[in-house]
Amino acid sequence: MFSTSRLSPLTTKIVGSLALAMVSFGATGIATASGANTKRGVVEARGPAAKVVAVGPIVLHAYSQDAGGSLYAARAVTGTDRDCQVPASATPVAADRIATFQVGAGQVACLKTMTNGTFELLWHALDRSAPVMLIAKANH
């Protein structure tokens, strides 16, 4: 057993804070984007789950190394995983392929996983503010 009687009060507070942070992270089991304005993120699900990816309006590229996940849009009520509990038609995220997904205003992008293991989704927002420029056109 570890004794804290020989540690300074500051060291005890630091150790306690680190232990609390580790337990809190372990209890959630996910890593998500840090906010609604984030332009990229990672969503990790363990087992079958429904998780929020991003808040619309947004167009995003999503990628996973593994199969077993799909994206769908749901009505944004709380901006949390609770919004993703209503089933909807989904777009599969194929392994090692980039999926483009669009979410409207008032909606959230949701990830649904069907695997028993860990599923990790990487995503980034597409910048639609830059105008599309035609560089060359071939006439046949």
111 and 33 Cβ atoms separated by less than 8 Å? no
pLDDT digits (tens, 9 = 90+) for 31-41: 444 444 558 99
- pLDDT band at 18; cut points 50, 70, 90: very low
Query: Is pLDDT at 30 greater than 60 in this prediction?
Result: no
Provide the residue type at 19 as one letter. A
pLDDT digits (tens, 9 = 90+) for 72-91: 999 999 989 999 997 778 99
> What integer best gives the mean pLDDT of the chain?
77
Question: Residue 79's CB: how many other CB atoms inside 10 A?
Answer: 11
CATH of domain 30-125: 2.60.120.10
Taking the CA atoms of 85, 86, 87 and 89 in sequence, report the sign of the dihedral they define. negative
Domain ranges across the chain: 30-125
